[in-house]
Structure 1
Amino acid sequence: MRRFRKTLTTAALTALLVGSTTGWASARGESPPGGPLPGTAAWLADDSLGRALPDPTTATPTEVAAFFAGLTDAQRQRLVENHPAVVGNLDGAPVRLRYAANAPAGDQVLAYDPRGRGLIARVAGDLENATHVSVIVPGSDIDLSTSGRTARWAADLQEEAGDDTAVIAWAGYITPSGIGPDLATGRLAEAGAARLTRFTDGLHAAGLPDPSLFCHSYGSVVCGLAAPDTDAGDIVVMGSPGMRADDVTALDTDAHVWAATSEDDWIDHVPHVEILGLGHGADPTSPDFGATVLSADDVPAHDAYFSPGTSTLTAFAAIADGDL
C-alpha cells in the first residue's frame, strides 16, 4: 500500500510540475543580498597600512589568510575596530578576529549579514583548538530570525561529539521560503553551494581541520552541488529531497557520503524526480545511490534528526568525532 501511495504521489507531482512549469518559472523567488557588504568601500579606501587591503569580493581565502598573517596584533585589532562588517565576514581571516568583529551579534559568531532576511554562522565548541570541525547546512525557511533552531542542533551535536569537536551552525545562504518554485529548483542551492565552498575554503585557510558537512532537507541539495569543490571528509544528508546527482559517483567527491531518512519524515512521501529542472533527483538513501545509509527508525519528524537520544544524533556524533 505504501509503495502504491508513493506511485500515485509521483504521478500527481510529475503532472503538476510539467503542467505548471511556465507559471513557476515566472514566479518571483528569493534573492541573495546584492552587492558588496556594507563598509566595503571604506575598507578598500583604507590606506592606513601603507598597502591595499584585500578586496572582499575577489580575494581568495588563502590570500586573505596570508594578508592577516603579515600584520601585527595592533594592526589586526585596528581593522576589526574600523571595519567590523568586513572582517566579520571575511573568509580566511583568523577566527578570533571574526568573533571580535561580530561580537555585537552574539558570542562566537563567525559570520553576520543583517541585510534582507539575514545570514549568520554560529559556533558551538572551541573552534580555534578543535581536532574535528562540523558544519550544519540547514534547509528551507532558515534565516537570521529562525537560525536558533540550527544553533540548537549544533549545540546538541557538539555536546554529543565531545570537547575536541566544534560545530558550526551555518545559516549562510538564502534558503527557500515557504512552498514555491525556489523549493523545487536548484537556483538558491547553486548560490548556496558557491557560498558554502568559499566558507569551507576559509576554514582551511585559517588552519582548521577539513570539515564534516551535515546537510538537512534542502541543505542537502546545496551540499550535493558543493561536493566537488569542498574538502569535506564526510557529507551527511538527512531528510533529503535529492542531491541533484544520480549517485555518489556523480557527486565527484572523495568524501564519505552518508544518508538518513525516517519513515515518519514527510519528505519520505515526496517523489525523487527531476523534470525540466524541477525536483532534485535520486533518493540518497536508495541502494542504487551508493551512500552509507544510517538507521533513522526512532526519528519522529522531519526536523528531529538532531534530537537528543535518537540513533541519528549518536551516529552523527561518531562521524563528527572521527569514530565512524
Structure 2
Amino acid sequence: MDITSLYNANINNITTAKNAFDTLAKAFGQHVDAWQHEVADRLSASQWTGPSSAKAHGRIADLGGQLRAARQEISFVSKALANAAEQFALAQSHLISALDDAKNAKLNVAPDGRITWDNEPSSPNFAGAGAETAAVAISNRITAALNEAVHADQEISTRLSHLAANASSGTGLNAATVAQDQAAETARENIPVAGTDPNSVKQWWNGLSEAQQQKFIEAHPDRIGNLDGIPAVARDRANRITLQQAKQDLQLQFDHLGPEPPAKVAGVSGAVSNPARDEWERRKALLQEQLNGVNAIDERLTTKVDERNPPTYLLGFDTRGNGHAIVAVNNPDTADNVSTYVPGTGARLGGIKGDIVRSDRMVAAANEASNRSKTTSSITWVGYDAPQSIVPDATKDTYAKDAASSLHGFEAGLRATHQGTPSNNTILGHSYGTTTVGYAMRDKGLPVDNVVLIASPGAGVEHARDLGVDPSHVFVAKGDIDRIDMAPPLRADNLVSNGANNIGSWYGVVQNPDHHLIHGRDPMVPDFGARVIPTTPGTGHSDYWNDGSASLQAMGEIIAGKRNS
C-alpha cells in the first residue's frame, strides 16, 4: 500500500458492493421464505405418507437448512464488506489529515513518503526551527495510516477468501460451518466481560479492525477503559472520554445540591440535629472531593510533555463509591521497567494527586538509576476500595481480600499487552497497600519480578518466599520514626510471642526478636527473609517518597533492576 493508492482509493466501490450483497441477501431471503411457505409447509400439512414421503420430507428439511445457511453466509459477505469500507475510510481520513497538516506546516510529502522542507529563514516557505520534529511526527502518522490500510486489506481478503471457499466447496451450506462463522462475527462485536483472561481479551482486541476498535471506545468507553488486556493507549483514549463525562456529571450534581438544609429541626423534646443537613454535607463533601480528583487527573493528562513531565495514561477510572483511578506515567506497554504502586489507608479518587506525584518521582529515580538507558513506567493503582480509617477499617483484611482478583487481573493485563522483550515488573505497596499486595500474591500470584513493601502492617504471609517470587527480590523498608510496627496482632498467640521476644531482646537472650503485626509477621524482621532497603533518618509514615531520600533512591534502583542480584 502506498500514499497515492490510499489517497485516491474510491471507498464508494466497496460500499456499492456491500449494498449489492444487501439486495441479494434480501431477495434470496424472500425466496427462501416463499419456498418454505409454498413447498416445505405445504408438504408438512399434506396427507402424503409412505416410504417416498419420508424420503421427500427428509430431503426437503435438508434443503431448507441449506438454504437458510446460504442466506446467512451471504449476510456475512455483506458484513465483511461493510467493515472493510469503514476500515479503509478511516485509514484514508488519517492519511488525508496527516497530509493536510504537513501542508500547513510547509512540509513537502513525496509519493514515496519522503518529507522535505525549506530551511531558508528568509523564504516565504520557511518551515521553521521545529520542522524536523514535525516531519518525524507526520511521517509516523502516514506510516500508521498505510499500516491501517494494509491491515484492512489483509482482513477483508481473509474473510472473503474464507466465505468464497465455503461457497465453492459447499461447506457454507452446512449448519456447523455457519455456526462457526457466526461465532466469529459475534466475537468481533461483543466486548468480553470484566474478569476475562487478559490474554483472551488481547486476542479479541487484535482481531478487530481499527475502525471497530474506535467504535467500541466511543460507544463503550467505560467498559473498554477498565478491561484488562486492552492496550494502554486504547484504555487511555476510552478513559479520557469517561473522565470528561464524569467531570460534567459531578459538576452538574454539585450545582444541583440545592440550598443547605437547616442544622436543627423540631423534635418531640426540642430542636434536634437535622439528618437532611448531615446527608447534604456528606454528599457535598464527596462530590467536591471527587471533582478535585478528576481535575487533578485532567490537569496531569493535559500537562505539556517535557523532560520533567512524561506522558501520562489513564488506565482505569470510575466514580463508584469513593472513586477509582489507575494512572500510568509513561506507557507500560513499551517501557523496559514497569512498576505498580498500591497506596493504602485513605486511598481514593479524591486524593490521587499526591499518589501521582509519587509515581512521577519513582520514574525520575529509576531514570537516574539507569542513567536513562532504560524507559520506566510507574503506575498509581487506586483500583480497589481501600480502607478509609485506621480504626476500624484498616484492622480488617477484607479490603485486601476483595482486591486480590482485580490486582491480579491488572498485572496479568500488563504482561499480555506489553510489546517486545518482557519488562522488569515491580509491585510496590505502602502501608495497607502492602497487605493488599501480599494477599494478592499469596492467594492469586502476581506475574511480577520484584516486590517492595513500604511501612507494612503485615502482608498476610510468614515469609518472603510465600509471596511466590525469589525472596532476594522482596524488599522492605520502615522509617526510624514510623510507628507502623505498633499495630498489634489480633491473634492471642502472636501477642504472647511478641511479648516473649521483646523481653528476651531486652535481656540479650534473643538477638533478632521476631514480631507479628495486625496482618502478619513484620516484614522487617530477619525471619521474614526480605532485603531491607535504607531510609533517611527522620523518615515517618509518609516520607518515603521525599526528594533526595534514601528510600526513594532505593526504589528507583529496584524498579530499574539495579538491586535485583
**91-100 or 119-128, larger mean C-alpha shift:** 119-128
Match of 1:211 among 425, 444, 448: 425
Counterpart position of 2:453: 237
**Could you tell me how far apart the structure 1 residues matched to 2:195 and 2:436 are?**
22
Are the equivalent residues in 1 in contact too, given 2:232–2:331 (CA < 8 A)? no
Are the equivalent residues in 2 in contact too, given 1:299–1:312 (CA < 8 A)? no
Shift of 1:57: 2.9
Shift of 1:178: 1.3
Are the equivalent residues in 1 in contact too, given 2:363–2:376 (CA < 8 A)? yes
Structure 2 counterparts to residues 1-324 of structure 1, below 5 A: 50-52=185-187, 53-104=190-241, 105=243, 106=298, 107=301, 108-162=313-367, 164-207=375-418, 209-228=423-442, 229-254=445-470, 256-271=473-488, 273-275=489-491, 279-298=518-537, 300-324=539-563
Shift of 1:308: 1.0
TM-score, normalised to structure 2's length?
0.47
Larger gyration radius, structure 1 or structure 2 = 2
Identity in percent: 31
Shift of 1:127: 2.6
Q: Which amino acid aligns with 2:360?
A: A
Structure 2, unpaired ranges of 5+: 1-181, 244-297, 302-312, 495-516
**178-187 or 134-143, larger mean C-alpha shift:** 178-187
**Could you tell me how far apart the structure 2 residues matched to 1:88 and 1:131 are?**
23
Larger helix fraction of residues: 2
Shift of 1:58: 4.5
Deviations 1:200-242 (A, max 9, x none): 0111111262520111000000111112411110000011001
Secondary structure at 2:526's aligned position in 1?
coil
Secondary structure at 1:102's aligned position in 2?
helix
**221-230 or 114-123, larger mean C-alpha shift:** 221-230
Deviations 1:171-198 (A, max 9, x none): 1110001133321121000111221111
**278-287 or 88-97, larger mean C-alpha shift:** 278-287
**More contact order relative to length (CA 8 Å, sep ≥ 6):** 1
Shift of 1:116: 1.1
Q: Which amino acid aligns with 2:327?
A: R
**Could you tell me how far apart the structure 1 residues matched to 2:466 and 2:233 are?**
37
Secondary structure at 1:211's aligned position in 2?
strand
TM-score, normalised to structure 1's length?
0.80
Deviations 1:63-90 (A, max 9, x none): 1000001111111111101110000001
Are the equivalent residues in 1 in contact too, given 2:333–2:414 (CA < 8 A)? no
**Could you tell me how far apart the structure 2 residues matched to 1:179 and 1:232 are?**
29
**Could you tell me how far apart the structure 2 residues matched to 1:268 and 1:281 are?**
11
Q: Which amino acid aligns with 2:186?
A: R
Structure 1, unpaired ranges of 5+: 1-46
**277-286 or 131-140, larger mean C-alpha shift:** 277-286
Counterpart position of 2:260: none
Deviations 1:100-158 (A, max 9, x none): 00114332111001111011001112333211100001001010001111111001101
**Could you tell me how far apart the structure 1 residues matched to 2:436 and 2:531 are?**
19
Counterpart position of 1:38: none
Secondary structure at 1:200's aligned position in 2?
helix
Secondary structure at 2:316's aligned position in 1?
strand
**Could you tell me how far apart the structure 1 residues matched to 2:476 and 2:199 are?**
32
Secondary structure at 1:303's aligned position in 2?
coil
Are the equivalent residues in 2 in contact too, given 1:210–1:231 (CA < 8 A)? no
Q: Which amino acid aligns with 1:290?
A: G
Q: Which amino acid aligns with 2:219?
A: N
**223-232 or 138-147, larger mean C-alpha shift:** 223-232
**Could you tell me how far apart the structure 1 residues matched to 2:538 and 2:556 are?**
15
Deviations 1:237-289 (A, max 9, x none): 01100111111133333461100001211213333x24289920111010111
Secondary structure at 2:377's aligned position in 1?
strand
Are the equivalent residues in 1 in contact too, given 2:336–2:424 (CA < 8 A)? no
**Could you tell me how far apart the structure 2 residues matched to 1:282 and 1:297 are?**
24
Give the RMSD, CA atoms, in angstroms. 2.0
Are the equivalent residues in 1 in contact too, given 2:332–2:414 (CA < 8 A)? no
Are the equivalent residues in 1 in contact too, given 2:424–2:559 (CA < 8 A)? no
**139-148 or 203-212, larger mean C-alpha shift:** 203-212
How many residue pairs match? The answer is 276
